[in-house]
Chains A and B, each alone.
Chain A
């Protein structure tokens, strides 16, 4: 495998955190997160879903808007406002889905760290409450349950490395 494994953790009651290493310089990873024509290539585009609308006003106070469409015409939209932008290393933005399954807004913090040509992306999503966070983790549970047991060893391995 050319890249790192995605780690997903719950550092506290209200957050979900993800860490992933990419084999590319930070500027490219930043571009892929902030330029619509690039985001449309990877964000949520699976099983025929496309990122049909991707508008980004990349400045503090600027808005972004994403709309996905499925082959059956189902639509899903979300957006928010940029709170902090330090290109190419840090971005903080609010997020809210049109038909949200969790209460309130969430705050997304994305941090990009470059080391020896590789970039570590850390995304932390902070929800307004513990209930909202847990709701997000619970909602897509159908496929999740089946894989629980055989992933146990993998989780324990990651717990061990985070133990310090």
Chain B
């Protein structure tokens, strides 16, 4: 199933904030109430609720059924979709960088033989 571009944009926008990423990381280890989520942050509950609303709109989290606690939980699917975009990009560059690793190893073995060519006043 593919989501609309708008929804994906909302996901990326939601992920662009460090507090929201920390909330997601916390929810990755299990669902939590708003009070529990607010605890580690020096932030008011309304401020946290604002972040939760953004995450919810992006489809990254949802609310549990328990009427009293309404615990938030992670919706892994939305995150997986956002991650899939980044993953292709990441894989392309990782391929480049693995080749660069090999090249640098080769360059390092040459390096000691290279005389120090830096001249006084050569600081560009």
Contacts and interface: CB of A to CB of B under 8 A. Distances in A.
Given A23-B101, A23-B104, 15 more contacts: A3-B101, A8-B89, A8-B90, A28-B108, A32-B103, A41-B99, A134-B8, A137-B12, A138-B85, A141-B84, A143-B91, A145-B81, A148-B83, A152-B76, A152-B80
Contact of B103 (A9, A42, A85): A42
Contacts of A163: 18, 21-22, 25
Nearest to B9: A134
Contact of B25 (A12, A85, A156): A156
Interface of B: 5, 8-9, 12-13, 15-16, 18, 21-22, 24-25, 28, 76, 79-81, 83-97, 99-105, 107-108, 111, 124
A159 interface: yes
Contacts of B88: 140-141, 143-144
Contacts, number: 138
A138 B87 CA distance: 10
B80 A22 contact: no
Interface of A: 2-3, 6, 8-13, 16, 18, 20, 22-25, 28-29, 31-32, 38, 41-46, 85-87, 130, 134, 136-138, 140-141, 143-145, 147-149, 151-152, 155-156, 159-160, 162-164
